[in-house]
Structure 1
Amino acid sequence: MAKIFDEINPEFETFIKNQKIFFVGTAATEGRVNISPKGMDTFRVLGPNKVVWLNLTGSGNETAAHVLKNNRMTILFCSFEGKPLILRLYGQAKIHHQRDESYHEYIDLFPKILGSRQIIEMNVDTVQTSCGYAVPFMDFKEERTQLKSWAEKQGEDRLKEYHKERNKVSIDNFKTGI
């Protein structure tokens, strides 16, 4: 049975910290809906109603484009080990680019990862839990290293060019702020 809460309580924060993957859902008022899996050590709970996450270089930049058009966001965590649980955070997001002072206020919360593209801040207005009884058990083996290796091989200058070439607009041709 789903339950609704106004904030991230300490139990939920602990659950979030133990997750190795989360999913981000966004949608502009038109175009495609986007759901992106995110991993690595890129998520932080800053308070009962505020989270930030580090957005790394990817083949697209749908989340940023959608947030600029419509700032609604849903973040989903699933328990793949132990007690079943699905936890959703609903709220409004904003994008912080490397050129923004606010980006530099948050970046030290995360390990240094070459290819960090943006920081997304979300004000959480609703937290929902549901059973997760149908989510399978899966064991975490290890983080993938391909993105880190690829970004290191590119170097900062080439990554900036990559962002300009491939991350400036979404697949629906919406601007991403890069």
Structure 2
Amino acid sequence: MESIPLAEGDLRWTFGQSVDLGAIREIVFRAQDQLGRLAEVLGASSGWVSSGLEFGIYPAMTIIDLRAWVESDNLDLPAFCVGVTPQESPDDGPRWDVDCDIAVRCYAQWDCGMHAVEELPTRSYDSPETAAAALLAAATWLLERGTAEPVDSWRRRDPGCASAP
């Protein structure tokens, strides 16, 4: 996977060629601002290359999603994740899936990755505008949840691995 910062990419990669770029850009950059605020509050970085929302290019799958992770180098702290992924169905036409979660690193003897401790249900949208609005709503939810309680409290929510080794 290749990661390209939002500012260096083209929103049509994710939202399609016929999208109203002005409207989508405004909404997506508002989501970017929410994620930046969360990263600032947490003293964390946002995105694989620390640029906030980033395009993830998956050449073998011909999919380019738009995604961000707000996370610290401290693996004891949670990761706040949000993304929009285009889908194409021969029966239903184009749609966009928006996903969002707060996850903590596994502390089991055999690390299985991240455990979601709170999430919004993944939803599909049939227009790029509603998908962008859902991305903004999810980023806003992450900011609200990420600042509602102490950042170290998320670890206690992991039912499988609640304590450090």
Q: Which is helix-richer, 1 or 2?
A: 2
The normalised TM-score by structure 2 is 0.30
- Larger relative contact order, structure 1 or 2 (CA cutoff 8 Å, min sep 6): 1
